[in-house]
């Protein structure tokens, strides 16, 4: 490797990989998935040297194992069960599950295939590696890091001055961070202090949460709804949310309950988010579409069910910066518990644009799966015919079904 090792611990992933991972282990251990990398930036190109470095970094990641200290840390999370800890004690990433080539328009193609238990865990470390390799090898990293530090200091100063009133916010930037060094510095500067109108409550990066004594934050991602709802070929995919919510409640009851609404559109989600689930889940997460319209819609839905919306959490996590979060908090703060997961703006705000890269599930158990979000262009599926089928199922249910 030309660079220092990017991922140094198997805890260096987002918390929702463990919450989903435990439920996968207990209920869907035989599911197999394919994941595909995509760079949405039209002006980005990965050189052959970058691709070679990414391969070496992923090989190094695959050599890691959980330590007993790390497992003990996870064992103290109240919803993690001993059976899952025992599985993690034996678990290891497999480089054989990866196919990494330069055969893509952007110069980098990555695909992983294998059990969902394995491939789910690869997404976040892979994206973190791709980001750090790209920025260190494409630019003068030291200059980028200086611009990052200046912007970070400006953010912290505005929090101290009370210019921003964010209420509760967490850091969600691991997958798109400038570097491990940058993310650690951001969390170090944001944590352990009191702001007049904001509270930094945690990070999705479990490794850094452990290091700084913070709360590791995260529940479910789109893969959960896509694979649980569409991976069983007997399921009508328009009911994906029902299958996903049902499996989650079987695993966690009332614990660990923030539901993601937009995997197959929020309107379809609300068909299944009726009294039982709306009561059991402590709140919902926004990840696409107009956040004000979404929040108003969720509050009205809680009202229609006779549920006190002021006790429910609205977690916003879509392309946020402090200014957007401040405005959203001002709009919703008296009507719900408002929280924010802020990623790229904290972990990769420099003088050059951040990468817009994703790694998504594209097949489960040999069949296409897809996300149809509330924003055009945020979905990802290799088969347009499946997208058409899924959309027709959703449209029929919205017009005629329950």
How many angstroms separate the CA atoms of 279 and 130, rounded?
40
**Among residues of the chain, what percentage have pLDDT more than 70?**
99
> Quick one: tokens of 315?
């977690």
Rounded (10°) angle between helices 240-252 and 16-27: 90
* Mean residue pLDDT across the chain: 96
Residue partners of 309: CB distance under 8 A and separation at least 6: 298, 299, 302, 303, 335, 336
Residue partners of 156: CB distance under 8 A and separation at least 6: 189, 190
Render pLDDT for 316-342 as a digit per residue (tens, 0 to 9).
999 999 999 999 999 999 999 999 999
Per the CB < 8 A criterion, the answer to whether 380 and 39 are in contact is no
How many angstroms separate the CA atoms of 362 and 119, rounded?
12
Instruction: Count CB-CB contacts under 10 A for residue 321.
Output: 15
Per the CB < 8 A criterion, the answer to whether 7 and 230 are in contact is no
- What φ, ψ does residue 364 adopt, rounded to 5°? -140, 125
* Structural domains present in the chain: 139-346 (3.20.140.10)
Its pTM stands at: 0.96
Render pLDDT for 83-112 as a digit per residue (tens, 0 to 9).
999 999 999 999 999 999 999 999 999 999
Over range 262-269, report the average pLDDT. 96
pLDDT at 376 exceeding the cut of 80: no
pLDDT at 377 exceeding the cut of 70: no
- Concatenating the DSSP letter of every residue in 141-191 gives HHHHHHHHHHHHHHHHHHHHHTS---EEEEE--GGG-S-HHHHHHHHHHHS
């Amino acid at each position: 490797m030309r660079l220092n090792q990017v991922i140094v611990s198997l805890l260096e992933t987002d918390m929702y990989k463990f919450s989903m991972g435990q439920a996968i282990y207990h209920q869907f251990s035989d599911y197999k998935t394919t994941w595909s990398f995509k760079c949405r930036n039209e002006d980005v190109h990965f050189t052959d040297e970058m691709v070679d470095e990414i391969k070496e970094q992923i090989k190094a990641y695959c050599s890691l194992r959980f330590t007993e200290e790390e497992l003990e840390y996870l064992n103290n999370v109240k919803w993690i069960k001993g059976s899952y800890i025992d599985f993690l004690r034996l678990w290891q990433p497999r480089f054989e599950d990866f196919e990494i080539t330069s055969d893509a328009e952007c110069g980098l193609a990555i695909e992983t295939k294998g059990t969902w238990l394995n491939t789910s865990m690869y997404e976040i470390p892979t994206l973190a590696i791709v980001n750090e390799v790209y920025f260190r090898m494409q630019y003068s990293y030291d200059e980028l890091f200086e611009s990052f530090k200046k912007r970070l200091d400006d953010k912290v100063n505005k929090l101290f001055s009370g210019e921003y009133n964010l209420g509760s916010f967490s850091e969600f930037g691991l997958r798109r961070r400038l570097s491990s060094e940058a993310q650690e510095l951001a969390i170090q500067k944001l944590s352990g202090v009191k702001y007049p109108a904001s509270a930094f409550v945690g990070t999705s990066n479990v490794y850094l949460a452990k290091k700084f004594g913070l709360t590791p934050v995260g529940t479910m991602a789109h893969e959960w709804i896509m694979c649980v709802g569409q991976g069983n070929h007997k399921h009508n995919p328009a009911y994906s949310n029902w299958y996903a919510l049902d499996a989650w409640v079987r695993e966690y009851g009332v614990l660990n309950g923030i539901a993601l609404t937009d995997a197959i559109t929020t309107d379809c989600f609300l068909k299944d988010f009726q009294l039982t689930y709306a009561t059991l889940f402590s709140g919902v997460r926004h990840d696409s579409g107009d956040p004000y319209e979404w929040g108003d819609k969720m509050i009205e839905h809680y009202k229609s069910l006779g549920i006190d919306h002021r006790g429910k959490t609205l977690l916003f996590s879509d392309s946020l910066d402090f200014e957007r979060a401040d405005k959203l908090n001002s709009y919703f703060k008296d009507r719900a518990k408002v929280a924010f997961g802020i990623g790229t703006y904290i972990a990769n705000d420099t003088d050059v644009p951040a990468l817009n890269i994703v790694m998504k599930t594209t097949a489960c158990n040999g069949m296409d799966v897809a996300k149809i979000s509330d924003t055009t262009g945020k979905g990802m599926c290799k088969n347009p015919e499946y997208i058409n089928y899924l959309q027709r199922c959703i449209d029929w249910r919205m017009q005629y079904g329950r």
